[in-house]
Structure 1
Amino acid sequence: MAKFGWSSLWKLISWLSSYMSSLLDKNGVSIIFAAVAAVALLVSLRNRKRRNIETTTSSSRAVNATESSCLPHTGNKSSSGVPTGPFSTRTTSSWKLKNVFVGVSRITLGTDLEKSCLFRRVSNSVGEQVQLDPDNVQGFLQLISLFEVFLIIRVNSDEEEISCRKALEVTGTFQSGLHPAKVLFCETLQGTTAIVRQLEPHMHIDSNPSVIVDLERFIQRLVYIGSGGFSSKTNKPIVILEQLADIFQ
């Protein structure tokens, strides 16, 4: 029926008309009525099949679009650095995962060495050193394995910059997905804000509330890592966590 075209239908009607003309004297109006009914049935079946095909196609596209929009853009990173594939084999029932990470592929993470969500200062016989906080290192490693992450660190000297890079290297973050060129340094909070606005991430995470407030107008998703509240300028919903590791719990 799908291949049955209008030209074939017209030929059928013409043939039926000729045939009915020859039989009109013998069978009368009943033959004409039966022929018209047959043609009407064929047209009805053709239209019904076409509507079924269009409905099935539209439904399939709608389902695919809904599933695509609900899946987080996470997973293994492609050659372009953008994560692809399913989120994870672990459950995604947490509200944080479903609401914060949907549609996210690029993340900027800002921190410093004072109110840090990633680093901590350690004093030993050699002197003061910088290390990754063991309570947050696993969360950070998971973050960089799933997303394209730019780490923005506020430092006061070249020595602090060197110490931060060494701490990242020793912990194996560069082998876990963090590109060395995506570790950026600045000296001020305004510097962090400027870098984030230039990178235009889908989400920004920071341990300083002033940076979060300054970025409210420019970044859709914001996550503050720390304790205590702060005054929002736009009343935009902001996720507040005590530590970086909580984002995956």
Structure 2
Amino acid sequence: MSEPSSSLSSSKDELFQLIKRLGTYLALKMSNLFSISLQKLDPRSVGAIAGLAVAIIFTYRLMRSPAAPPRRQPKRQAPTTSGSSISAQSNATLMPSGACSPSEDLRAQNVVDEFFQPVKPTLGQIVRQKLSEGRKVTCRLLGVILEESSPEELQKQATVKSSVLDVLLEITKYCDLYLMERVIDDESEKIVLLALENAGIFTSGGLVKDKVLFCSTENGRTSFVRQLEPDWHIDTNPEIVSQLARFIKYQLHVSPTRPERTAPNVFSCPSLEHFFGCV
């Protein structure tokens, strides 16, 4: 505790001796100056003398001002019986100045992890990736786009699945999409087209009514697909999927159960939206 005080006192004495010698030198010079006739002094010499005098007085007063008392060391707290308090005091003692606490390191790490977290792909990016950049897609309506599962039901109503709308609209943005279905009569065609129109499928600009095809037999749908030569065909009928496996690059078999894979280019999923990760 005495070493800092003694070093401070020694430095103060050395500075005082230096100022004392400087004062003696200045006094000698000033006595020589005053021996000269004041009439011969120009205003610049008088200003220099006055400045030296002010500097000496200011330095002398500064050295005479009492030094600030040394700061007391904080008293050590008595050890508590709590183990957490002891460990906290130990960490505070051992931690160097400027070091970050573990909680600060953890917060910083969380910020870094969030910053470098991979960006979640958009639905459009997923659609293009899943379809392998395919440009033409054919898809049946029953069981995929519509809630109904038979042509007989379409004679009464047609209900578009709300869960499939986003996927369907994204497909129309990047692909040439054709929808097709077997119907019993012309009235069923009107019911289906009205349901698609009310769902907003035709408003995106990617799908028009002329690309909704109707036929009277299952073989007619197969013929449509063969003629259009799409990159992807989506269907619920396993027989049609099997027949087209040799001619179509990729197929998606929509089935509530997971059927046995019939070909390497045939994929299966419970629904179209499930295939694109929307459920």
Alignment root-mean-square deviation, CA: 2.6
Aligned to 2:185: 157
Residue 212 (structure 2) pairs with residue 179 (structure 1): no
Q: Offset at 1:172?
A: 1.1
Give TM-score scaled by structure 2 length.
0.49
Q: Offset at 1:140?
A: 1.6
Contact 1:111-1:208 at 8 Å conserved across structures: no
Aligned to 1:213: 242
Residue 268 (structure 2) pairs with residue 236 (structure 1): no
Q: Offset at 1:158?
A: 1.3
Give TM-score scaled by structure 1 length.
0.54
Select the structure of larger CA radius of gyration. Answer: 2
For 2:160, the aligned partner's letter is: L
Partner Cα separation in structure 2 for residue 192 and residue 104 of structure 1? 20
Aligned to 1:17: none
Partner Cα separation in structure 2 for residue 168 and residue 188 of structure 1? 22
TM-aligned CA distance change 1:231 to 1:119, over 3 Å: same
| Residue 102 of structure 1, aligned match among 112, 132, 138 | 132
Aligned length: 151
Q: Give the match's secondary structure for 2:256.
A: coil
Partner Cα separation in structure 1 for residue 253 and residue 138 of structure 2? 12
How far does the alpha carbon of each residue in 1:186-220 deviate from its partner, in whole angstroms, 9 at most, with x for none? 12221111000000111111122221111011001
TM-aligned CA distance change 1:141 to 1:92, over 3 Å: closer
Q: Please identify which structure carries the higher strand content.
A: 1
Q: Offset at 1:133?
A: 1.3
| Residue 167 of structure 1, aligned match among 184, 189, 195 | 195
Partner Cα separation in structure 2 for residue 179 and residue 226 of structure 1? 27
Partner Cα separation in structure 2 for residue 92 and residue 131 of structure 1? 24
For 1:201, the aligned partner's letter is: P
The runs of 4+ residues in structure 1 deviating greater than 3 Å are 91-94, 229-233
Structure 1 portions without partners, runs of 5+: 1-87, 122-126
Q: Offset at 1:108?
A: 0.6
TM-aligned CA distance change 1:140 to 1:92, over 3 Å: closer
